[in-house]
Amino acid sequence: RPKLTKKKIPGVVYLSYIPPKMNVKTVRSMLSKFGELGRIFLQPENPNAKKARSFTEGWVEFADKKVAKCVANALNGTQVGGKRRADYYYSLWSIKYLHRFRWTHLNERLAYEKAVREQRLRTEIAQAKRESNFYIASVEKSKRMRREAKGKSDQAEPEEASIDIRQRPTDQQIVAKRARKGNDAERTGNSGADLSLLKNIFVSSASFEDDAKN
């Protein structure tokens, strides 16, 4: 009877440090020579970046948990190596086998961290909106108070006396004014002479009548 092959149970190792310039492709290339790999996830240093260039930690899934445990025990604390000109050549592996850890646990953790980040972002946005609205309201209140204070000060100030500023008359205006004065004086003199003449006539007539009566 053929022997029944025991189903392999995948295992996950945890990388607490990702050397510089190392990415998912590099990790897969360096660890796949020890055994069959499954999924790999490296945590970006900046989760909001479109293209991650540096990572803080990572998880690597091996098809067989026994292989994962052996790799973690063998590589932890050893030199990464690879190409001598690589930035990570002299770095050391910091790798640990996660006992009874499944990839679904990682998905749950990542989903939870994403929800926390989104909640924190919403809180920060709401706080920024409140601060902005408070600032706008304060500015409007300050403007309104200044307008009211200015209106009260304008009402309290006495009205300034109007200053009559007359323009100096021109030569033509002076000549015309003198001519008018001369005409007025001439008319006044003529009217005085006429009155004197009439007075003399009336006086003479009265004297003549008195003589006739006598």
Confidence (pLDDT) at 189: 57
Cα separation of 57 and 45, whole Å? 9
pLDDT band at 99 (very low <50, low <70, confident <90, very high): very high
What is the percent of the chain with per-residue pLDDT over 70, rounded to a whole number? 74
The residue whose two tokens read 């926390």 is: 116
Burial class (CB in 10 A: 0-12, 13-18, 19+), 1: exposed
pLDDT for res 11: 93
Output the pLDDT for position 83: 85
pLDDT beyond 80 at 200: no
Q: Give the per-residue pLDDT at 115.
A: 79
The answer on pLDDT for 27 being more than 80 is: yes
Identify any residues that bridge with 59 across adjacent strands, giving them in sequence order: 14, 41
CB 8 within 8 A of CB 56: no
Q: What is the pTM of this model?
A: 0.54
At residue 86, what are phi and psi to the nearest 5 degrees?
A: -70, 150
The mean pLDDT value for 14-42 works out to 93
